[in-house]
Amino acid sequence: MIIGIDLGTTNSLVSVWGEKGLTMVPNALGEFLTPSVISFDEDGTTYIGQTARERLIAHPESTFQEFKRDMGSNRRYEAFGKQYTATDLSAILLRQLKEDAEAFLGEPVEDAIISVPAYFTDKQRAQTRNAGLIAGLRVSRLVNEPSAAALYYHANHLQDEEMYIVFDFGGGTLDVTLVDAFDNIIEIQGISGDNHLGGADFNHVIALDICKENGMELQNLTDTQRAQIYRKAEEIKMELSNTPEVTKEFAIADEGNALDGTKRFTYHITTQHLVDISTDIFNRVAIVLKRLMNQSGAYEMEDISGVILVGGSSKMPAVRTYLYTLFKDKLLYDENPDEIVCRGVGTAAGIEQRSIGAKDLILTDICPFTLGTGIIGDVMSPVIQRNEVLPCSRTRTYVTVRDGQKSILFEVYQGEFHQASKNTKLCEIEVNVPPKPAGEVFVNVTFSYDINGIFVLELKSPYLEESVRKEIVNTLGLSEDEIASRRQRLEELKTEPPMHGRRMELLLNRAERLFAESDSQQKYHLARHMDALRNCLARGDQKQARQTADQLQKLMAYIESHMFQFDVRDAGLWEDYVNKEDEDQ
């Protein structure tokens, strides 16, 4: 059984193609969306998903999100003396998704197809594959996210021959793809994107606006306070998806006197104001769209049949309003835009295992970046051009430039700059050649690039002692020993409890978040209930734990519902509630 995984910046999902067709796989909490968040505790316990997300405020120093944006970088995340890369954190998340799929399917899962942003570099793709291997998965294919979306949408919505744009706007990346669909074939004609543009950027502009309206400086707040502001910003952004304006009252922890004693705030925003403060974001979106159409060559806006909106950020009215000004009535919506990529990856898994109903679909893809070698004068000499249909293989011939030259250095680059050194250097190979007059010695250089982004370089010439073949992805990947070592490290992590305990931990972490926003008297009663629940869990008293958890939930609901409506203590209601809940105990 091959599962499809949408490894997202904000949320991750799993799907599978079984006997009854495509099925979305729920996690242990019964939800399809698993937040891409990892949190570590001092005792070594690792929290994943929603439980980890609830720890962002109370434990910001050891809780990490949006690490997909750092895939391929050298950034290190540190928690309790241990360091993790984006690959390590992704592996932890993938292992949890694998275990959730196994629990749902009732059988072991060893193979997966994973989606990646279309604009991911070879290094980012290799590290995504590494993360899967560390998690115990054989990654049979990496599929570009908009390509997966196009595959699903064509299979389920589009019937005739059509040219359309897939606008995939997720939590951390924007991919825009031009697709030509006809019969059972989906051909990718062009791609453009921004690996650091997504819904998280709207969170940031709202957070900055909250601080501006309330006389604060975001950079001067503590980690906990910033986490609270960002959490409220995300809630406001999501609420704006359902209503044209939002007024929010909230409190944040008053620690370190960063707020001069102020704890409670009011913030009002409309969809139009969000558009106004997000000008830079929409300018970057425009650049991506213009780049796509410029690179498509023969195609014009009039050739586009529709624009398919994919990804959670595409649900935002501010985004849809902006796109409407560009495409008018060509916008196409799906009922669950944040599930389309995962459904597409699951469809690709069905194709891979030749399942009934999926085997007749053919998905082609293209090379997202130009691949070439540097030549004299620091000039990029392209071998495979961007947007070439995959798989492809191209050969170019290079000659010596000096009399008596004894070697040729081939520096392999990926990118669009004319100056070679400005592009991403993938590797270099130096070969010895006989010293002859300039231009007499030649080497045929072949670049081959397959649908998984695996890049092979071959050098052949009668002047070489032997041909050279190099699989570039291996220079970016991990050896079997390294995979085994990092997998062992992953196995040593203590994961959060099984489903019952996970629900309890989720409740406790929500209580911790509310605790940070409460006043001293509210904190007193929250602490009593949280300590009581932890004691029940430590004793293994599940019956008492359920009763205590129910009391904690009622207390939390009461505090949340009355926190900003009026001062419950002045009204005499707080004492009434406390007395009642003491009697219940």
357-381 average pLDDT score:
84
Q: Are residues 116 and 14 in the same domain?
A: yes
Single-letter residue type at 388: E
Q: Residue 411 pLDDT > 90, yes or no?
A: yes
3-state helix, strand, coil in the chain (%, to 5): 40, 30, 30
405 and 286 both lie in a single domain: no
Dihedral Cα 63, 67, 71, 74, nearest 10 deg = -50
Co-location of 273 and 147 in the same domain: no
For residue 330, pLDDT over 70 is answered with: yes
pLDDT computed for residue 159 by the predictor? 63
End of a domain among 450, 471, 499?
Answer: 450
Residue 469 within a domain: no
**CA 87 – CA 70 distance, rounded (Å):** 9
Environment class of 442 (CB within 10 Å of its CB; exposed 0-12, middle 13-18, buried 19+): middle
In the block, tokens 């830079």 appear at: 280
Is 492 inside a domain boundary?
Answer: no
Query: Quick check: is 410 in a domain?
Result: yes
What is the mean pLDDT of the segment spanning 200-229?
90
Q: Are 328 and 203 part of one and the same domain?
A: yes
Q: Over 50: is that where the pLDDT of 585 sits? A: no
Cβ atoms of residues 355 and 375 within 8 Å: no
Residue predicted with more confidence, 481 or 563: 481
If phi > 0 it is left, if psi is from -120 to 50 it is alpha, else beta; for residue 122 that is alpha
Query: In this structure, is residue 505 part of a structural domain?
Result: no
Predicted local confidence at residue 482, as pLDDT? 75
Mean pLDDT, residues 111-133 taken together: 88
Highest mean pLDDT, choosing among 46-60, 486-500, 505-519? 46-60
- The reply to whether 458 falls in a domain is no
Report if residue 478 sits inside a domain: no
Cα angle: 346, vertex 8, 423; to 5 degrees: 110
Q: Please report, for the domain that includes residue 222, its CATH number.
A: 3.30.420.40
Determine the pLDDT at residue 409. 95
The pairing of beta strand 21-25 with beta strand 37-40? unpaired
My answer on whether 306 and 230 are in the same domain is: yes
Rounded percentage of the chain residues whose pLDDT exceeds 90: 43
Distance spanning both ends of the chain, measured CA to CA: 50
pLDDT band for 545, please (50, 70, 90 cuts): confident
Q: Is residue 292 part of a domain?
A: yes
- Mean local confidence (pLDDT), 411-417: 91
Angle formed at CA 224 by CA 223 and CA 228, multiple of 5 degrees: 115
Nearest to 448 by CA among 386, 382, 375, 371: 371
Dist. CA 149–CA 92, nearest whole Å = 25
**What is the band of 562 on the pLDDT scale with cuts at 50, 70, 90?**
low
Q: How far is CA 90 from CA 298, 301, 308, in A?
A: 39, 38, 28
Domain co-membership, 133 together with 166: no
Give the largest CA-CA distance in the chain.
99
Q: Please identify, among 450, 478, 506, the residue that sits at the C-terminal boundary of a domain.
A: 450
Query: 14 in helix, strand or coil?
Result: strand
Number of domains forming the structure of the chain:
4
Does residue 570 have a pLDDT over 50? no
497: cis peptide before it, omega within 30°? no
What pLDDT score does 569 carry?
Answer: 39
**105 in the same domain as 19:** yes
398 and 378 assigned to the same domain: yes
* pTM, full prediction: 0.74
Mean residue pLDDT across the chain: 85
Same domain, 23 and 136: yes
- Give the structural domain span for 121: 1-155+337-358
- pLDDT band per the 50, 70, 90 thresholds, residue 405: very high
